[in-house]
Structure 1
């Protein structure tokens, strides 16, 4: 007697069509949300805050940053904005912070004022530590606690180097310098004469100024007013002890 073979059922096919449709609907939904988001006011720049300005206007910073209220918030990165702002010669550091939704903060640090200079029009201008010339502010003109540069040409490279060296000097040391005049010689084309508010006359060179400034302060703090020479060798002569021989030596020095 033969046994009847059971009928084998065909495996049910998984219904993949419904899952694909679900994925497509989710993608369409996300795309719709993205379109709605990027076209809504929440994705736009609503406010730009700028802090730390003194010599450069907020309008110039906005123009250099190339961002406006109403622009897409995520279109330009913080680093890109910082690099654009740093192209302004007055600015030494820029920090851009994005605060969602819509706020962009730009904090800048400008180069410090290290000296002043009279323009051809007789106006007092300020010199920053990187050599940039800016218009002096009213509060600075009332109390000049930085040296005034006299007798320099507009684009003298030695003047630009001088401002950089003055930027390395402390505020206390800088406040004692009242005037700096070019005094070139064959041996030292960057030689200068500096007058201090403590009544000293100092002959030195821009190239050696950073290494001489501490020694200069030591003399000023311990000696009576006089003439100080700080070049290859350092000398100090009180004004009351100056003699015709000293004057002749000074005149010979101008050729060195």
Structure 2
């Protein structure tokens, strides 16, 4: 009996050339789209928003950020811009948010203003909690609840330490401090005299100020105006009416 052999089909040849051509065309199309995108206005920064500043200007922050409208949106990362803005002496922190298409928002947090003093030119200078001095001639609100530093040398290293210590004091207690003058001694090179708006005179040192502020507040709230010493030991001596009358006009003004 004759058996017929099945016919073997030849395998179809894959059209490799067509697939390669298709892949190349797709890649070229993607590259063309990328070129068109990065050269279009949609890929550029169209708006830069800056918020949170009081002492720094928009121009200063913009220059520090080193970006302008028209720059490539993806060229500079948010973290890089934040690091640049933080180099400004009055800036404590910065947060940058990018919103596509084209919007870059910079929100800054400045160091707290803790005191002020008059410069040699008679201009009002604000002292920030990191020791930075900046012009505050146009900031009238600063005078309301901040102490004035008087009698300090421009290069006195204790002044920067004082501003940092003041930055750790609650705002309510800081607002009662009217004037702070240096009063160094051999035992306490950083000794100071503080005049309060509640008519107290306080002798203390910058190095212990943060630890003593709560005790100082307790005395001010419960005692009559007087002289308080807060160093190694704490003492309180009330003023009598005669001593108040004998105070100089300048001292009266600084305690009001």
* TM-score between the two structures when normalised by the length of structure 2: 0.90
Deviation at 1:205, TM superposition (A): 0.3
Alpha-carbon contact 1:124-1:141 (below 8 Å) kept: no
- Secondary structure, counterpart of 2:30 in structure 1: helix
Question: Is residue 44 of structure 1 aligned with residue 32 of structure 2?
Answer: no
Deviation at 1:46, TM superposition (A): 0.7
Alpha-carbon contact 1:146-1:174 (below 8 Å) kept: yes
RMSD: 1.9
Q: Distance in 1 between matches of 2:90 and 2:116?
A: 15
Please list the CA deviations of residues 65-120 of structure 1 after superposition, one character each: whole Å capped at 9, or x if unmatched: 11011000000000100000000000111110101101100111111110011111
Residue of structure 1 in register with 2:78 after alignment: 78
Residue of structure 2 in register with 1:60 after alignment: 60
**1:110-189 correspondence runs (5 A):** 110-140=110-140, 143-189=143-189
- Secondary structure, counterpart of 1:138 in structure 2: coil
Deviation at 1:145, TM superposition (A): 1.5
Residue of structure 2 in register with 1:254 after alignment: none
Deviation at 1:185, TM superposition (A): 0.7
- Secondary structure, counterpart of 1:94 in structure 2: strand
Question: Is residue 217 of structure 1 aligned with residue 199 of structure 2?
Answer: no
Q: Distance in 2 between matches of 1:241 and 1:54?
A: 43
Residue of structure 2 in register with 1:95 after alignment: 95
Alpha-carbon contact 2:123-2:137 (below 8 Å) kept: no
Q: Distance in 2 between matches of 1:5 and 1:196?
A: 115
Q: Distance in 2 between matches of 1:238 and 1:6?
A: 122
Q: Distance in 2 between matches of 1:11 and 1:108?
A: 69
* Matched residues, number: 243
- Secondary structure, counterpart of 2:240 in structure 1: helix
Please list the CA deviations of residues 125-175 of structure 1 after superposition, one character each: whole Å capped at 9, or x if unmatched: 111111111111534268432110011111222110100110111111011
Structure 1 residues 3, 89: CA separation in 2 closer, same or farther (over 3 Å shift)?
same
- Secondary structure, counterpart of 1:163 in structure 2: helix
Alpha-carbon contact 2:124-2:137 (below 8 Å) kept: no
Alpha-carbon contact 1:129-1:164 (below 8 Å) kept: yes
Structure 1 residues 137, 205: CA separation in 2 closer, same or farther (over 3 Å shift)?
same
Structure 1 residues 230, 14: CA separation in 2 closer, same or farther (over 3 Å shift)?
same
